[in-house]
């Protein structure tokens, strides 16, 4: 019988949402994206040391911050498009 030598303990790791946090920082909402990156890193650290309760809490916070950053970014994008269209319509 073979053993799994990869070092897995059977405990599932909480998702870090790091890529999503970086995307939100660069494209959507800088302040919330930075905070989401911090919580993503905290999730990674908690996963590494095996603290699943703290990892899940930080992961949940990172996910909520990413959702908020994405929504805020989309709202500002829509507002900027509407403003551009209205300014162009007034110029013609």
Per domain, the residue ranges of the chain are: 17-91
pTM of the predicted structure, to 2 decimals:
0.81
Q: How many CA atoms lie within 13 A of 13 on its CB side?
A: 15
Is 49 within 8 Å of 5 (Cβ atoms)?
Answer: no
For residue 84, give every residue at least 6 positions away whose Cβ sits within 8 Å of its Cβ, in sequence order, or none.
Answer: none
Q: How many residues are present in the chain?
A: 92
pLDDT tens, residue by residue, 23-78: 999 999 999 999 999 999 999 999 999 999 999 999 999 999 999 999 999 999 99
CB-CB neighbours of 29 under 10 Å? 22
């Amino acid at each position: 019988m073979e053993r799994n030598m990869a070092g897995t303990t059977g405990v599932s790791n909480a998702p870090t949402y790091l890529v999503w946090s970086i995307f939100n920082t660069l494209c959507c909402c800088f302040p919330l994206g930075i905070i989401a990156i911090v919580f993503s890193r905290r999730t990674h650290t908690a996963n590494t040391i095996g603290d699943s309760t703290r990892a899940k809490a930080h992961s949940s916070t990172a996910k909520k911050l990413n959702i908020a950053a994405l929504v805020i970014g989309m709202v500002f994008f829509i507002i900027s498009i509407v403003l551009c269209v209205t300014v162009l319509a007034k110029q013609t």
